[in-house]
Structure 1
Amino acid sequence: MPLINIIPGEKIPVAPMNVRLPAWRVPGWLLVFWWLARGLLRLTVLAVRYWWLTTPTVLALWVRAEFGGLVLAGVVLVVAAGCGAWWRWHRSSWLRFGWYPIVARVRMLFVYRRRWASVMATCGLATSFAGDRYVPHLLRVRCDRFGDELTVRMLPGQIPDDWGQAAERLAYAFRLRTGQARSAARADRVVLRFVRRDPLAGVVAPLPVPEVPALDGLALGVDEDGHPYRLRLTGSHVLIAGATGSGKGSVLWSLIRSLAGGIRSGLVEVWAFDPKGGMELAAGVPLFARFAYDDPDSMAGVLDDAVKRMRLRAARLRGVTRQHVPTVKEPLLVLVVDELAALTAYITDRKVRDRIKESLGLLLSQGRAVGVHVVAALQDPRKDVLPFRDLFPTRIGLRLTEPEQVDMVLGDSARDRGALCDRIPESSPGVGFVVLDGVREPVRVRFAYLTDDDIHHLGHTHRRLDTTSDSDEQEAAREDQH
């Protein structure tokens, strides 16, 4: 028996504390009833959750019991014939409302739920607290012809960027090609996109030329869902970065082709800059209002003219409107620069280089509202080559040579969100990721490819009409006289 010391030198015996819990005797029949009730509840929940399996099974068993096997076989044949007719006469609605929902439920049950807990643990997305294990909840799976889209309820403390960093590991864990995570409508959810078949594997043919270009959505190629990708040019400048042979020409010529209807009608005016001696853009000379390619000083002069036109137009629109609307008298001015680094970094004449940088800085910072837009392509995305990259709201990253270059072009953490520009194979020119200001998730796109014959035909059929009534030109001429 333990002793307690109250007075120095004296020890009084103390009895130990009784900590045994009372034992309750539960009848065996009550335990059996509890187990049966719990099992019945679980079966009911499973039957309701997987109604697409239980309902047909119950109906088939009922028909078999009431009317016999021949009637059941007849019903199955009638349903199969109806599905076949639906597929034959309206395939798109059959795939959307019939086939893909079935595929989604089957894949959710046998591909994702079967391995969900283990994959979440190995990818670092599950956690434990106070002895309990917490796993993100898979809410819904949707399928299409190219891949699967999973909606997941995140655990407290997780953000979509955590899932973006683990998206590639998740894709490999489920034996799929690539994965990407993006924000959902609700703040506690994230949407995972896994690709089963790459819709961008093949070359995209040139898209039709609209009579009036839709500046809010120029069709340039195909996105990873297999839908036409449309780029917003209104109120934006576009930066295109990619290694040699990555397909920068596909982006430039796809954009020019989408504007060709406006070029022919006079609503759009394209000024082209080709510092490589005109080798890249010379095939489209009939489409250009001005084409500068010979020496840096002349290209600096053309940029000065663009700044002068921008300022005159701004003075004319001041107090009238905040956004320029293209007309034949005041067309949209698009400056296309094939190799921007040749103008901002590789010119040996410092005065000409500084002059070009000043003009580009003014155009990029002040030109959007008055209808002057810059579309520039380059190979080297380093900061000293392009000091004003932040002035491009729309950025396109094609194949890049290093992972660090992805964030240089598309912004911080763009690669963690799925823009794997450094992993685009050389055999897929024209494939890239597009990032817009205010949109966290990049979009994977393959831009249309135009051959030399396509470009020559485009220049022949949509050549620019010579107009002498342009108010900008008249105003600039009066300014020069003064």
Structure 2
Amino acid sequence: MPLINIIPGEKIPVAPMNVRLPAWRIPGWLLVFWWLARGLFRLTVLAVRYWWLTAPAVFALWLRAEYGGLVLVGVVLAVVAGCAGWWRWHPSSWLRFGWYPLVSRVRALVVYRRRWASVMATCGLATAFAGDRYVPQLLKVRCDRYGDELTVRMLPGQIPDDWGQAAERLAYAFRLQQGQARSTGRPDRVVVRFMRRDPLAGVVAPLPVAEVPDLGGLPLGVREDGQAYRLRLAGSHVLIAGATNSGKGSVLWSLIRSLAGGIRSGLVELWAFDPKGGMELAAGVPLFARFVYDDPDGMAGVLEEAVKRMRLRAARLRGVTRQHVPTVEEPLIVLVVDELAALTAYITDRKVRDRIKESLGLLLSQGRAVGVHVVAALQDPRKDVLPFRDLFPTRIGLRLTEAEQVDMVLGDGARERGALCDRISESSPGIGFVVLDGVREPVRVRFSYLTDDDIRQLGRDFRRLCDIDARDEQEVTR
């Protein structure tokens, strides 16, 4: 027994402290009752959660008990016939409100919820604290023709970029092709999309041409959800980067085709630059107000002329409006450059190269508000080749040769958010990812493909028919 010293020289014995917890004896019948109540509560929760299974089952049992098996079979056949008639009469509404909601619930139960906790742990999205395990909550699964969208409540401390980095691992864990994460309007939620079938596997045919182009949404191709992709040209410049045979021509000609109605009416002027000797853009000469190729000095001169037009227009619009509206008298000017690196890096004449860089810098920094836009394509996205790539608000990454090039073209972190440009197959030209300033998530698109015959027919059908004055006279410089 330990001793405690109260008075110097005197020790008094003290009993040890009792730290044992009291034991409660519970009767066996009470424990059984508790287990039954707990099981009944869980069954009730499951029955309410999966009402789309329990409600038909209860109704079928009641129908069988009250009216017999023949009536039950008749009701089932009537429901099947009604669904078949709905599908036959209006298939789009049947798929939207009947079939896909059912598929979503079944896949949520069979594919995702069954393995959710284990997949979250192996992909590094679950955590443990004070002996308890915390797993992100799967809120909703929505299926469509091409893939599944999962709405998830993230754990505290997680951000959508964490899910973007793990999206590919999640797709493989659920035996699917590709995954991509995007943020929602709520800060605690993220949407993860998995693709079951690629809607971009086939070639996209040329899209219809509008009489008046919608500069806020030019149709250029198809998105991975099967919907038409529309590019916003108003107030923007467009950069297209991709390796050889990646489909840069598809993007350029899709854009030119979407502007063809405005070219014919005089609302749009195309100034084309083809440093590769005119091989890519020569077939569309009837569509161009300017077409320059081969001569670097001539290209520098046309760019300087565009700068003069831009400054004159800015002087006329100063104090009148902050955004140019295209008219026949003041058309939208679009400069299309097939290989930008040939103008900014590969010209041996330093003075000419500096003139081109100065003009392009002015056009990119000042041209959007006055209706002068630059659409440029290149293969090499390095900074020394294109020093002002950050001046392009809209950037399109086609197939690239290296993973590092993805962030060079589309911005830091684009590849982690799903823009796998380096994994695009060589057999799928025209597929790429589009990134807009202010929008974090890239959009996967396949652009329409125009054959040489399509391009020549486009030039014949939509050639420039408006009368232009001497200042805007069409010329071909060599």
Q: TM-score range by the shorter chain?
A: over 0.9
Give how far 1:238 is off: 0.1
Alignment-mate amino acid for residue 419 of structure 1: A
In structure 2, the partner of 1:43 is 43
Give how far 1:7 is off: 8.1
1:357 and 2:357 aligned: yes
Instruction: Point out where structure 1 has 5 or more consecutive residues left out of the alignment.
Output: 475-482
Any idea what the Cα deviations from partners look like across 1:265-295, whole Å, max 9, x if unmatched?
A: 1000000000000001001000000000021
Q: Secondary structure of 1:352's match?
A: helix
Give how far 1:3 is off: 4.5
Alignment-mate amino acid for residue 42 of structure 1: R
Q: Give the Cα separation in 1 of the matches to 2:195 and 2:21.
A: 57
1:183 and 2:169 aligned: no
Give TM-score, length-normalised by structure 1.
0.96
In structure 1, the partner of 2:232 is 232
Count of residue pairs brought into register by the alignment: 473
In structure 1, the partner of 2:332 is 332
Q: Give the Cα separation in 2 of the matches to 1:334 and 1:226.
A: 29
Any idea what the Cα deviations from partners look like across 1:303-339, whole Å, max 9, x if unmatched?
A: 0000000000000011111110001111100000000
In structure 2, the partner of 1:449 is 449
Q: Give the Cα separation in 2 of the matches to 1:446 and 1:473.
A: 35
C-alpha contact 2:220 2:254 (8 A) present in aligned 1: yes
| Counterpart mapping for 1:258-297 below 5 A | 258-297=258-297
In structure 1, the partner of 2:401 is 401
Any idea what the Cα deviations from partners look like across 1:356-411, whole Å, max 9, x if unmatched?
A: 00000000000000000000000000000000011000000000000000000000
In structure 2, the partner of 1:424 is 424
Alignment-mate amino acid for residue 314 of structure 1: A
Q: Give the Cα separation in 1 of the matches to 2:464 and 2:11.
A: 111
C-alpha contact 2:264 2:466 (8 A) present in aligned 1: no
C-alpha contact 2:289 2:472 (8 A) present in aligned 1: no
In structure 2, the partner of 1:478 is none
Q: Give the Cα separation in 2 of the matches to 1:301 and 1:264.
A: 26
In structure 2, the partner of 1:243 is 243
Any idea what the Cα deviations from partners look like across 1:36-56, whole Å, max 9, x if unmatched?
A: 221111111111100000000
Alignment-mate amino acid for residue 114 of structure 1: R
In structure 2, the partner of 1:387 is 387
Give how far 1:467 is off: 1.9
In structure 1, the partner of 2:27 is 27
Q: Give the Cα separation in 1 of the matches to 2:176 and 2:466.
A: 54
1:98 and 2:93 aligned: no
389-398 vs 4-13, which deviates more?
A: 4-13
Q: Secondary structure of 1:292's match?
A: strand
In structure 2, the partner of 1:477 is none
Q: Give the Cα separation in 2 of the matches to 1:5 and 1:450.
A: 100
| Counterpart mapping for 1:163-202 below 5 A | 163-202=163-202
Q: Secondary structure of 1:133's match?
A: strand
Give how far 1:2 is off: 3.8
Q: Secondary structure of 1:225's match?
A: coil
In structure 1, the partner of 2:59 is 59
Alignment-mate amino acid for residue 418 of structure 2: G
Q: Give the Cα separation in 1 of the matches to 2:2 and 2:160.
A: 59
In structure 1, the partner of 2:302 is 302
Give how far 1:13 is off: 3.9
In structure 2, the partner of 1:467 is 467
Give how far 1:16 is off: 1.6
In structure 1, the partner of 2:476 is none
In structure 1, the partner of 2:212 is 212
Alignment-mate amino acid for residue 204 of structure 2: V
Q: Secondary structure of 1:333's match?
A: strand
Q: Secondary structure of 2:44's match?
A: helix
Q: Give the Cα separation in 1 of the matches to 2:298 and 2:453.
A: 29
Q: Give the Cα separation in 2 of the matches to 1:379 and 1:13.
A: 90
Q: Secondary structure of 1:43's match?
A: helix
Alignment-mate amino acid for residue 373 of structure 1: H
Alpha-carbon RMSD across the aligned residues, in angstroms, is: 1.4
Alignment-mate amino acid for residue 370 of structure 1: V
Give TM-score, length-normalised by structure 2.
0.97
Identity %: 87
Q: Secondary structure of 1:384's match?
A: coil
Q: Secondary structure of 2:365's match?
A: helix
Give how far 1:10 is off: 7.1
Q: Give the Cα separation in 2 of the matches to 1:25 and 1:147.
A: 55
Give how far 1:184 is off: 1.1
In structure 1, the partner of 2:312 is 312
C-alpha contact 1:329 1:469 (8 A) present in aligned 2: no
| Counterpart mapping for 1:155-166 below 5 A | 155-166=155-166
Q: Give the Cα separation in 1 of the matches to 2:430 and 2:57.
A: 49
Give how far 1:242 is off: 0.2
Instruction: Point out where structure 2 has 5 or more consecutive residues left out of the alignment.
Output: 474-478
Alignment-mate amino acid for residue 45 of structure 1: V
